[in-house]
A and B are shown apart, each in its own frame.
Chain A
Amino acid sequence: MKKTCIAMLLAGGQGSRLYALTQHAAKPSVPFGGKYRIIDFPLSNCANSGIDTVGVLTQYRPLQLNSYIGNGQPWDLDVAEGGAYILPPYLGANEQGSWFTGTANAIYQNISFIEHYNPENVLILSGDHIYKMNYAKMLREHIEKDAACTISVLQVSMEEATRFGIMNLGADGYVCKFEEKPKQPKSDLASMGVYIFNWPKLRQYLIEDEADPNSSKDFGKNIIPKMLAAGEKLWPYRFDGYWRDVGTITSLWDANMDMLSTTQINLFDPAWPIASRSAVCPPHYTGKDACIVHSIVTEGCEIDGDVENSVLSSSVRVEKGAKVLYSVLMPGAVGEEGATVEYAIIGENTVIGRGAHVGAQPDGSEGWGVATCGPDLHIRPGASVPASAMIYTSEEV
């Protein structure tokens, strides 16, 4: 059995910049946009692009992610010849093997998995990006351009370019230089961390890189520069749709707010469904005194208070007199009577007690930011959680 392309999804990142939200779970399993978890986007993109074999590399707090992905059935990835596979680090015979030491090392450690499918190409994905992308188009270009590696790039402003890995192109349109977070960017094409490699070539570079003691075993820092140095053909695939990295509290909050508008990313498009695994809940219920404006609400919610400009995941409860403004409430979160939640992210199953106040409106000050409460907390009645706060335990407030 030979596949044209299989995908390897890097879901092992610690997500340390999401702090309390990732204290019990890996970043890709963080709830997003009401119905979803972050990993639903790359998984659905794979399924919609006709890529039916996806290896999901996990290592950091994988339990929730493993049970979420299961056999891949929600994304139609439960096929006979392929499917979704969880690939944790493991020790082989003679205690060979280790934790993944870098993105390239994670793939290196799973060479035998890839060999089993013997694909012509391998698609490398991150588990922390929100976007809809047809990888089949990218693969077509990759094959047409006879590239050893095709890197998906996004045009950014020159100011933003300093925060990304930037591709400089030669006269022939191929990538001639890769610069990680350049101070003086010479191009505005930023890498999205989505790569398609010719598998025999990648295999060779992975083995060589693994033997290099000075390498940090990273695609951006090591593999791509080494391929460029060796004169391989690297093609930039231009993507011009919605794409967000949701690795920080601010970017996660921003991207959630983007879901309130279909002009940013249209999730209602039947041609490109984003699927998710969700427990069946009854439709959401709005009581007599509820008020919901410019918000998204998911099944299982019970709303008796005010909800404005907010994103509510499944089974959220907003009691009478509670106000939820410009906030993201993850599954099972509760705002008890008279509680106020504004400019905040509330983790799964966290209860904001009666009359408590979480977050604050932007006041133009330097220190202002989105307030965050981790999962499974109980914010005691009447408590006050200031802007920018990061709450890990119920005892903190």
Chain B
Amino acid sequence: MLDFHGIVFAYRTAPALGELVSYRTAASLPFCGRYRLIDFSLSSLMNAGIRDVGVIMQRDYQSLLDHLGSGKPWDMSRKSRGLRILPPFGLPEYHKGDYAGTMEALNAVAAYVRDIPQQHVVLLLGDLAANIDLSPILEQHLRVGAPITAICSEHTPRSARNRYVADENGFVKSARYDVQGEGEGYASLEGYVIEKQTLLSMMARADERNEYRFHRGGIDDYLAGGGKMALAIHRGYAEIIRSVDDYYSASRDMLAPAKRREMFPQERPVRTKSQEGVSTYYGENASVSGSLVADNCIIEGELKDCILFSGVRVGKGAKLENCILFRDTVVGDGARLNAVIADKRCKIAPDTVLTGSEKLPIVIGKGKSL
């Protein structure tokens, strides 16, 4: 049996995602035409053979619950354990606000963490768009023997803010927090492989010191105490989705074949909840280029550089460029949309003209009619 357990953080939702997260968490944000962001972390765990996974959530998680179900798509619907949904159940009564940090989120489900039967835990973000090949990382973790291995990225994702600098032996010698852009060391993807006992003592220390931020409360204290942390480098595509801008540009990255192949390598498929479906139909006057289109759509108009989720209808003579349309959105005949993100079940009236810009796409909230 594999000695690793997964924990995915789906409690945090960056406010800069605006209307896109007004009724869902970032982890359940639709991505790349048919997925939710959390599918990538769950699939990374699944493809490494990890079946026991806890998903920590705090609020607005109905959409996430719908999506995860019993965990079946990721082979995590097991006789014992498998996928566990972890809403706050250990939080003090007086605590009504958001988790003050990852350490508080973990402490809120401390009983669950204590009961983990495996020796090591893989912590991953629910709002990370990356297909991480965890198997060699887990192997490295066991081989190197440091209690913590931090997963970093070869390139610097737009929203990455933390960097780790390694010494010549590959162990972290310093950490830089809240830095934007490139710099010394490697950008952290905030994924960690950590010995369960180390994690528990970090959680206890954070509680004692009332410092719940993962880095300042956990990692710093651990490193200061002489703890060893190794680095593992992920070389494929990776973005952390913390704003509409992140979301829009990461989505558009998926239109580039090379980046898409890094996200969807044949040997490590990304699983998601299955959908009933019909193939997509293109009409007599349809035209399409540079786009990703899911099943169940009916396209009668023109698409250029768009991403369409399942069930979208594009009317005759409609012209769409640089748009992302979520499930079941209907675009009327003759509408012209540029740089628009339309949430689920929006209705765009015929001949509507909407022009956003690539820097500032127009976001239309769920179910709105225009």
* Chain A contact residues, CB within 8 Å of chain B: 33-35, 74, 259-260, 262, 267-268, 273-275, 278-280, 282-299, 307, 311-313
Contacts and interface: CB of A to CB of B under 8 A. Distances in A.
A34 B264 CA distance: 21
Nearest to B307: A283
A297 B303 CA distance: 15
Given A280-B270, A280-B271, A296 B257 contact: no
B283 to A, nearest CB: 6
B260 A74 contact: no
B281 A296 contact: yes
Contacts of A35: 277-279, 295
21 contacts: A35-B277, A35-B295, A74-B274, A267-B278, A268-B296, A275-B276, A282-B270, A283-B32, A283-B307, A284-B293, A285-B257, A285-B260, A286-B288, A286-B290, A287-B289, A288-B290, A293-B284, A294-B286, A295-B282, A296-B280, A311-B279
Contact of A298 (B287, B288, B295): B295
Contacts of A278: 274
B47 interface: no
Nearest to B269: A280
Interface of B: 32-34, 73, 255, 257, 260, 264, 269-272, 274, 276-296, 298, 303, 307-309
A312 B279 contact: yes
A294 B282 contact: yes
B279 A298 contact: yes
B292 A284 contact: yes
Nearest to B255: A285
Contacts of B33: 282-283
Contact of A286 (B272, B284, B291, B294): B291
Given A290-B289, A292-B288, A297 B280 contact: yes
A299 B269 CA distance: 14
A330 to B, nearest CB: 12
Contacts of A307: 282
- Most chain A CB atoms below 10 A, which of B73, B277, B284, B289: B277
- Most chain A CB atoms below 10 A, which of B264, B278, B308: B278
Given A268-B298, A280-B269, A292-B286, A285 B280 contact: no
- Most chain B CB atoms below 10 A, which of A74, A289, A293: A293
Given A282-B33, A284-B293, A297 B276 contact: no
B222 to A, nearest CB: 38
B42 to A, nearest CB: 12
Given A268-B278, A285-B257, A312-B279, A299 B294 contact: yes
A286 to B, nearest CB: 5
A284 to B, nearest CB: 6
Given A286-B291, A299-B294, A34 B276 contact: no
A313 B277 CA distance: 12
A9 to B, nearest CB: 20
A259 to B, nearest CB: 8
A280 B278 contact: no
Contacts of B285: 293
A291 B284 CA distance: 11
A275 B281 CA distance: 17
A319 to B, nearest CB: 12
B96 to A, nearest CB: 39
Nearest to B282: A292
B303 to A, nearest CB: 8
Nearest to B283: A294
B43 to A, nearest CB: 9
Nearest to A289: B289
Nearest to B272: A280
Contacts of A294: 282-284, 286
Given A267-B278, A280-B270, A299-B34, 15 more contacts: A34-B279, A35-B295, A268-B298, A280-B34, A282-B264, A283-B34, A283-B307, A285-B291, A288-B289, A290-B288, A292-B282, A292-B286, A296-B278, A299-B277, A312-B279
Nearest to A295: B282
A307 B284 CA distance: 11
Nearest to B287: A291
A280 B42 CA distance: 14
Nearest to A269: B278
B279 A297 contact: yes
Contacts of A312: 279
B32 A282 contact: yes
A106 B229 CA distance: 65
B300 to A, nearest CB: 10
A297 B33 CA distance: 14
Contacts of B255: 285
Contacts of A289: 289
Contacts of B281: 260, 262, 295-296
- Most chain B CB atoms below 10 A, which of A33, A34, A293, A299: A299
B170 to A, nearest CB: 34
Contacts of B295: 35, 283, 298-299
Contacts of B284: 293-294
B274 A283 contact: no
A282 B279 contact: no
A282 B34 contact: yes
Shortest beta-carbon contacts, A-B, top 5 = A34-B279, A283-B33, A296-B279, A283-B294, A298-B279
B354 to A, nearest CB: 23
- Most chain B CB atoms below 10 A, which of A260, A291, A292, A295: A292
Nearest to B264: A282
Contact of B280 (A262, A274, A284): A284
Contacts of B287: 291
Contacts of A285: 255, 257, 260, 291-292
Contacts of A299: 34, 277, 294-295
Nearest to A307: B282
Contacts of B288: 286, 290, 292
A296 B73 CA distance: 26
Contacts of B283: 293-294
A282 B291 CA distance: 12
A274 B278 CA distance: 8
Contacts of A283: 32-34, 292-295, 307-309
